[in-house]
Structure 1
Amino acid sequence: MIGQRLEVRQGQGLVITPQLQQAIKLLQLSNLELEAFVEGELERNPLLQRDEGDAGGEPTNEPAEAAALGEAGELQFTEPSGDAERAMDARAEDMHDDAPPGERDADRKRDAGEIGEQPGLSDWSRAGGGGMDGEDMERPDTREITLWEHLQAQASSAGFSAADHAIALTLIDATDEGGYLRGDLQEFADRLGVDLARVEAVLTVCHGFEPTGVMARSAPECLRLQLVERNRFDPAMAALLDNLELLARRDLSALRKVCGVDAEDLNDMIAELKGLTPRPGAGFGGEPAQMVVPDVHVRPDPAGGWRVELNSDTLPRLLMDKRYHGVVAAGARSNTEKAFVADCAAQASWLVKSLDQRAKTILKVGSEIVRQQDAFLAFGVEFLRPLNLKTVADAIGMHESTVSRVTSNKYVSTPRGVFELKFFFTAAIQSSDGGALHSAEAVRHRIKSMIDNEAADGDVLSDDRIVEILNETGIDIARRTVAKYREALRIPSSVQRRRMMKAG
């Protein structure tokens, strides 16, 4: 018999309140996005104000300032104990239980519809601030790709070792909007702790990226790269590129002498130059170039090890004006007014606390990454260790998703330059003797070095022989993995290399 009936069932479920969503989202915002969100909240919430050292309000948050990493690698926060010991996790039950009773009651009222939800991070995200829930997850990203994103994507698939990939990212960061590389290669080499020849070799590979001519150091070099691709670069064209000042002055007779061509050929050469692109990066855009502001500073500690500090310039300092709250709460007459004041107070208190937890979490994750990659800071990119999210999460007692959010769009300033926190995560290869893991990028670099030395030894190494040599040194790797790495490095097979050596 078909009919209707009413049943009552009891069960457990995880409820993510709007304030919990806010706390989670704050973790993954960059400092620029966070500043934009805070400005919006200051306009919406009359109980919020900036902490500028005035006596008008009572601050409720004291952000973590620094952590010291000694020689033993022990993490010590230089902040008071208590709440500072508790880092924000992405697990809902932890975040929900951290809220004061009054704020939890406000959450339940909002969920039940007793309090009209005030504009918050969800509204700001839907307005274009980088949300990730609901329709925002399904909405396609229609913004135009930037030149730097385009180059970074190509660098990731270029088969670079970890060290060379770090060099490539450094060069890409130094590329301007027009596509020209700005900076001295020797300075890059000194900062990264590698030879100048290695930086030049990486730049040579980058010169093969699209658009053609990108990352050139001058206009003649940019035009030369495009002519080489078209197979139109010859001695006469080289002479023309070396004397572009004569072309600018329209001194065609001098150009004909320098290039060794007649008037007709010179006109054809000039027409070819006009068909090239002097600014290869002009076709990209979408977003104006923004200077990267690091969230964390790493400096050598005079006592040994490294000192990790938050960048105070990127930390919004907010407080809830308790005096004003008392005034408006006393003046509220209707239930709607009282609910609005209570909701603003709950929002302000939770935001202040969330910002404090965000700062402590960034500091804790950054400090652990520095501890894991201290060899890179001391000796250079060759000493990057294999590292993944789980290793960091287990070391600091957080969830992997929290570490992932913290390392997105966050940058650290080190003596070797400014890097995104995700830069320090590299894959690992097992050790055949049960010892320490080997970085996959370091193994790729070792394979390349072995093949580069074949000419000196006169012996061409097969993939099987490379596997044997690596196994003898404690690296457990399969032949197909060696072949995959070799192909990613664009190195021919042993048969092809042997033929090339005989022909050469």
Structure 2
Amino acid sequence: MSLGFQLRAKQGQVFRLGQVVSVLQMSAAELDAHLEDAARENPMLILRRRPMTASGATDVLEMAAVAEAGSLYDHVSRALAGLIAEGGLMERIITALMEELEPSGWLGRATDEIAEGLGIPARLVDAALRVVQTRVEPAGLFARNLEDCLRLQLEDQNALDDDMALVLASLSTLEIKGIAGLVAATGLDEETVQDCLARIRCLDPKPGNAFCNDPTLAREPDVRITPQGDGWEIEFLSALQRDIQIVQMPRHGQTAETREALAKARAMKQALEMRQSALRQVVRVLVDRQGAFFRLGAAAIEPLTMSEIAQATGFHLSTVSRVLNGLLIEGPNGIVAGRTLFGGTASARTMVSKPHVQAKIRALLAKEDPKKPLSDRRMTALLQADGIAVSRRVVSSYRQEIGISAAAKRRRQA
């Protein structure tokens, strides 16, 4: 065997190992993008879409949209990472502001209330908020209210002149008294008011809606399990993930370029098959070991380590860890991240389905005192006490989706 052949064989082994490690580290969405890029670059590689598991075109579109979008919380966390890294009071204030961020992109509480909770003067929170508002995009995030949201966007566009400021300040008059009332309130002529309104209509009153509210609750799970006797039926749900086919080509017609492309295609196919095999084996062992959790809830979780999964499957510990990266499993009691099923405590928080959370919110609001309506924060606490681990941002979003006003507005209407 020649030295050159041995060297090429060794290089091929290293390349295939690198492909396997890279593919194992990817989430389902990242893998889809990686495979599509590889297929565009490699003519020997053909992607075959697996049959869709969603119930209809709407579900598929929603799943695709979620896969492409990041969460609002993650987006602002990245944008404000530099300020948060300063630590101290700035970190405390920004963290508090982020906690109050609604799915719409507005703040859920007034700055004086946030300041009171932090035990600091409101002027410090207001000053930090102004810095935050100039650091994040799109403009309008962290607005106090509608007027503030529109003002931030107009400032960003250098379109906030004196006339526009007058219209903004009196905008609530429009709903009650119409254009004539707005003209009277501002003292401007009707044409100027109409021009300002035309500019305002091009703005986004809820810039946060462009982001997912909560990725764990919003996106489709990767695996769904249903009880089957004493065991479980396991369904792997990724409707976007692909299988690979390799172009068949006679050996005598191959060039050096096609041979290299074929080698890369085979390495990719092998890496994908190993990933799928690892995923199935790890999930089956995990579901088998934590069956009580999926049937009875977090209180029944069993002590478990990734090392035990690695020993049971024969995979390296790092492979088990990579397979569990971002994995969501849906069982009879909701959706849970695979990584939370380790450690042997009740900290594995069950993420129940969206319709179930919305039904719980309706039930809570049906029993509320009209004179003391439940705030989103109070509903979050009640849901969490009932074993439903959702954030206040999710509760606020779901309340809006089912057509229920905020607590302050429900109190006025009572």
TM-score range, shorter chain: 0.3 to 0.5
Larger radius of gyration: 1
* Highest RCO, 1 vs 2 (Cα 8 Å, sep ≥ 6): 1
TM-score by length of 1: 0.37
TM-score by length of 2: 0.45
